[in-house]
Amino acid sequence: MPMSDSPTLSPLDQIAEAPADHYRVLKISDLDGDRLLELSRFMKLSLSREDMLAVQEIYREWEREPTDVELEVIAQTWSEHCKHRIFGATITHEIDGATETVDSLFKTYIRDVSQRIFDKKPGFVLSAFHDNAGFIALDENLAICLKAETHNHPSAIEPYAGANTGLGGVIRDILGAGKGAKPIGSLDVFCFGAPDTAMDHIKAEDVIHPLGVMRGVVRGVRDYGNRMGIPTISGAIQFDDAYIYNPLVFCGTAGVIPIQDIDKKIEAGMKVIAVGGRTGRDGLHGATFSSAALDTDSHESDQQAVQIGNPIEEKKAADFVLAARDKGLIGFITDCGAGGFSSAAGEMLEECGGTIDLDQVKLKEPGLVSWEVFISESQERMVLAVDESALPELRKLADLYETELTELGSADGSGILKVTHHGRTVCQLDCTKLHDAPVRTLSSRWEKKTAAVDAPVLTHAGAALRDLFTDFAIVSREPIIREYDHEVQGNTVLKPLAGASGDAPQDAAVLRISGSERLMSMSVAILPEWGKTDPYAMGAACVDECVRQLVASGADPDRLAILDNFCVGNPEDEEELGALVETVKGIAAAAEAYGAPFVSGKDSFYNYFETEDGPVSIPVTILISGMGIVEEAAHVIGASLRREDSLLAIIGRTGAALGGSVFARRHDLGNAEVPATSFDEAFQCYRQYYEAVKQGLILSAHDVGEGGLAVTLAEAAFSGKAGLEIDLCSLPMDDDASKAAMLFGESPSRLVIEVAPENLEKVAKLFDGLPFAALGRATSRHANLVVDWGEETLINESLTDLKSLWKNGLAQYY
Amino acid sequence: MEERPCAVLLKFPGTNCDAETARALEEVGFVTETLPVSALTPEKLVGVALVVLSGGFSYGDYVMSGRIASLVTEQKIGATLGEFRDNGGFILGICNGFQILTQLGLLPPGSLVENASGRFQCQWVRLKNLAPTNPYLAHLPEEFEFPIAHAEGRFVTKEAAEAAAYVENGAAALTYLDEVNGSFADIAGLQDESGRVFGLMPHPERFLHRRDHYDPDWKGAGDDESRGAGYYFFRSLHQSISQSN
């Protein structure tokens, strides 16, 4: 056999200057766009042709070739995951035929909107967008923060480990916020396929059945949160076929910090140290992996990008960090998340510059090459900058809490990020250049998808109500909630399940904050069904629902802050991007009207799956999570009926639109109009409600959400305290609202409140000129939900039966 | 001024209820010191009235819960805890602490294994006080509620009869009023013969205030309506220790 001239070389070997070593210099200056793209794919950099050409240009200016470490660093920093380039893109957006240009969704609709609110409320938001999490002032001494992240791709491939490290990661975000915030509560929001999905309904190999995904994800969250000792207090689950291939896993954590510890800075001469777990080959390319679509091969080849969490390692690091912060030993801190040391050190040294010595890094296994050490996303690691004089005491603390402390390098004021390994410089980058990614240009379009659809004639409203209580959107999440320790730290005043029976659903959770008289309320809102036909309405309603839940639980409507977490399919698809643009506009309009600024946010793209029949995308999904300040414990209001002699009233107007509702989905109403949100009227109502709370006039309040008014009333009565007798005759509503809309429509901005008979008049007076009406009363004469329309009885159902449907709907699957 | 008794809270990697437990102890009049196990020596227990093993997941509890913590404790201080008890000291184990005390052999024989449900259970439970003269339970009524949060709280003995005997002979100081996790004889908490060593799965430190209860209309316990049953648990202990000195 004839010998070939040379063995087949990988794209890397072909351009490497020297044989494989712990790092390589790559000759890219002469490559054309195709070859550059090939290189990007081979190295799994997830950089586009334009990005690679920009990199090439930078190196041409510098008159040298990059090392593989440098390319990896640039790929990490420019990845969608780290840089949110679609939110920074210039988008030509076509809406119902008209064209507009959006110069960065982030700047236009998130940052600028929030900045205007900050200016109106001086001293309230203490930090936003630049740190790991945004802070708001709780009182004169303490601040609270909240951060939410997604971990979708890892959870699709390895549900337990993906969700496990998803929560672990966001907890580290809090530990790395300011000079280290104490994590005090977590939220988790999931989107799955339905648990009863038929196996042959799944059209791709190796996709994990939704039931397997759900069980794995819940256990992953459970085992991290419970071991860390952070109560998981808030959450939601959406079930929809669209999430079978791309389940969504949002994890969020709240923290508390002394205000004086929010500002952190790094100065030349400070030492850079790592604390916590060791570095290994696990989690390579997590950031770039999450910036690409999934396919069947992902289930095999990308396993390396998913890791196993070790919460005890993180708990030890957390104990160390909080002790070090209290002793004033921390100058700067951040977590090792996506991009590992390269991101953490990059963030830390981007202005100051400094040297990192990879020989100092403690490894899980020998033989890692330079780029692997530098970008590995091994879990449970924090990076700190500290004064050299603090090192001895920090070492003592590390010994005390049994965590490993490693000196990595130092800051030098040069503005250059320099990385050495085995005595050679493997990376030397001007940090300012490092953070300039090319601005993308994209096009999007959206056309109105809703139409007037006649509401179905309700022949048996009671049966329709029972039917809703079997829907996965509505059934009790109790089996899952009880797997999470939601009371550790001993501060969960309003628990996710409460009321006289201890198992009734609540709208928000409220935490006592040690060291303050004030409390923190936390809630989430997610309505993907709305966005399928009206993304703007979805965005607006999500902000409204989140705000309303916070206010319902007793938070001051003028002291709320929210987060936006987006999940999108393919941003190169004009319609999907168009839905995103409309959603962003919706949340921005609502946030501005309510004066609830965004203080942090995150986006996840490429949530689509390549099947043989073409890509399957998720609907544009927005999670709004929020935090609010409750002035005192006496203001905390639960969502469950408390007395058998009380009166019920409704705040807010009921519209005719049924679109987006669970009822509409179950009755195939397709593209029915989705309710719009009237911000000004709604916010006036919330302020008046808060007045009533402060005057002690509210016994309980439940937001009208999925399932509409009838479901809300029944849920309130699941406390088992009393039956309900309701008459809808005086319900504030639009003239064209059908009975279906009155009972099951999901018009936003509505609250059902319970008041003592002697207080009804006082409360009604507060709502003078606003949509408000007495609806009926609690009763001890029976345990039914009775809803009349004048002489006609629409619903007369046993609450015990409804509750049993509600409690057992998910229990059989989890 | 009355001298406040000193409580040491032993903290293992993974212990996570130490802060709220310290807060509860301080609220009833203890001074507390939270001691990471890496710094544990026999001398640290000198002058101490109470050692507390609080809840959490020591070393992750990946092998049998409490097992590694008990081995590390024995390695660090040998039989010091037993001597501490013999000299009049009090030892309290809550949740993971109960599991560790069981592993250390400081409580009547038995094990805490996976709940019959196979799940982690975070819920409130009704409890029966079978030892109203026990130093930890003196101020508590015959029936009260505490929250639980555990995956391995099912108390078992080699023979079911042993657990039944604990109820007869008073070792089982606290039982569940409902079926909760499959514990033999519904045992929720155990005392040793001295009554000074006490382990329980429920979390008294999470119920210091009326507002900690899930029902907003729950009426307080004991002589102060704003207090929860957990407060009286710790107050009983404080009073017993103050009287024993």
In chain B, the DSSP E strands lie at 6-11, 31-36, 50-53, 90-94, 111-113, 121-129, 143-150, 154-156, 172-176, 187-191, 197-200
Domains A264-436 and A448-484+638-814 alike in fold: yes
- The answer to ipTM > 0.85 is yes
Strand order across the A98-103 sheet: A98-103, A90-95, A441-446
Which residue does chain A place closest to B24, by CA atoms? A490
| Chain A nearest-CA residue for B146 | A487
Highest CATH level, class, for A448-484+638-814: alpha beta
Query: How big is chain B, counted in residues?
Result: 245
Instruction: Name every chain B residue with its beta carbon within 8 A of the beta carbon of A481.
Output: 122
User: Min CA distance, A782 vs chain B (Å)?
Assistant: 21
CB < 8 Å to A514, chain B: 19, 23
- Torsional sign, CA B155, B159, B162, B167: positive
- From B14, B60, B214, residue closest to A495, measured CB to CB: B214
For the domain made up of A264-436, the CATH class stated in words is alpha beta
Distance CA A307, CA A317 (A): 18
Asked whether the beta carbons of residue A490 and residue B205 sit closer than 8 angstroms, the reply is yes
Residue B205 is among the residues annotated as catalytic for this protein? yes
Domains in chain B, ordered, with CATH?
Answer: 6-244 (3.40.50.880)
| From B95, B145, B152, B213, active-site residue | B95
Q: Tell me which amino acid residue A268 is.
A: A
> Which among A400, A489, A497 has the least Cβ separation from residue B36?
A400
**Is A222 within 8 Å of B14 when comparing Cβ atoms?**
no
Q: Which of A400, A483, A636 sits opposite B120 (nearest CB)?
A: A483
Residue A433 dihedral angles phi and psi, to the nearest 5°: -65, -35
Residue of A nearest to B207 (CA): A490
Please answer yes or no on whether B212 and A642 come within 8 Å at the CB atom: no
Choice among B150, B203, B213, B238 that is catalytic: B203
Residues B155/B175, Cβ–Cβ less than 8 Å: no
Contact state of B57 with A226 under an 8 Å Cβ cutoff? yes
- Short-list A712, A231, A248, A306, CA closest to A493: A231
- d(C-alpha A290, C-alpha A154), whole Å: 8
Q: Please tell me which of the candidates B20, B121, B124 has its beta carbon nearest to residue A489.
A: B20
The yes-or-no answer on residue B33 being catalytic is: no
Task: In whole angstroms, give the CA distance from residue A529 to residue A475.
Answer: 17
Which pLDDT score is estimated for A437?
Answer: 79
Q: What is the mean pLDDT of each run of 10 residues along chain A (814 residues)?
A: 49 70 90 93 88 92 93 83 82 95 96 97 94 95 97 92 94 97 98 95 89 97 97 97 95 98 95 95 68 64 69 97 98 90 85 92 92 91 96 98 97 92 92 74 94 90 98 97 97 97 97 97 98 97 98 98 97 96 98 97 91 89 98 98 98 97 94 96 98 98 98 98 97 95 98 98 98 98 97 97 97 90
- According to DSSP, residue B60 is labeled G
What is the dihedral angle through the alpha carbons of B200, B205, B211, B212, rounded to the nearest 10 degrees? -60
Q: Which of A229, A310, A500 sits opposite B215 (nearest CB)?
A: A500
Cα A536 to Cα A608: distance, rounded to the nearest angstrom: 22
Give dist(CA A587, CA B196) in Å, integer: 58
Nearest Cα to Cα of residue A778 among A801, A804, A752: A752
* pLDDT for A5: 43
Cβ distance of A402 and B38 shorter than 8 Å: yes
Structure tokens at A655: 């519209």
Say whether A312 and B57 touch across the interface (CB within 8 A): yes
Whether the CB-CB separation of B200 and B183 falls below 8 Å is answered with no
| Neighbour order of strands in the sheet with A416-421 | A332-335, A381-386, A271-276, A404-411, A354-357, A416-421, A424-430
Cα(A72)–Cα(B32) distance, integer angstroms: 50
Query: Which chain B residues are within 8 Å of A638, Cβ to Cβ?
Result: 216
Q: Return the closest-CA partner of residue B43 out of B4, B83, B11, B13.
A: B83
Domain boundaries, chain A: 264-436, 448-484+638-814
Determine whether B6 is an active site residue.
no
Q: Between B16, B17, B23, which is nearest A315 by CB? A: B16
Q: Which of B122, B181, B215 best tests the A interface by mutation, with the highest count of A CBs <10 A?
A: B122
First to last CA, chain A: 62
pLDDT for B1 equals 47
pLDDT of residue A790: 93
The contacts found for A79-83 with CB under 8 angstroms, 24 or more apart, are: A79/A46, A79/A287, A79/A288, A79/A291, A79/A338, A79/A339, A80/A46, A80/A290, A80/A291, A80/A603, A80/A605, A80/A606, A81/A286, A81/A287, A81/A288, A81/A290, A81/A291, A81/A338, A81/A604, A82/A287, A82/A338, A82/A339, A82/A343, A83/A437
Contact A496, A509 (CB under 8 A): yes
Q: Which amino acid makes up residue A517?
A: E
Q: Tell me the count of A-B CB pairs closer than 8 A.
A: 104
**Sign of the C-alpha dihedral, residues A316, A273, A601, A688?**
positive
Scanning A565-648, the segments in alpha helix (DSSP H) are: 574-594
Widest Cα–Cα separation across chain A: 101
Cross-chain residue pair A226–B120, CB shorter than 8 Å? yes
Q: Spell out which residues of chain B touch residue A519, defining contact as CB-CB under 8 Å.
A: none
Residues of B in contact with A483 (CB under 8 A): 119-122
Interface test with A, best of B12, B18, B215 (most A CBs within 10 A): B215
What pLDDT does residue A4 have?
A: 41
pTM of structure: 0.95
Instruction: Name chain A contacts of B17, Cβ cutoff 8 Å.
Output: 229, 488-490
What is the rounded CA–CA span in Å between residue A607 and residue A615? 10
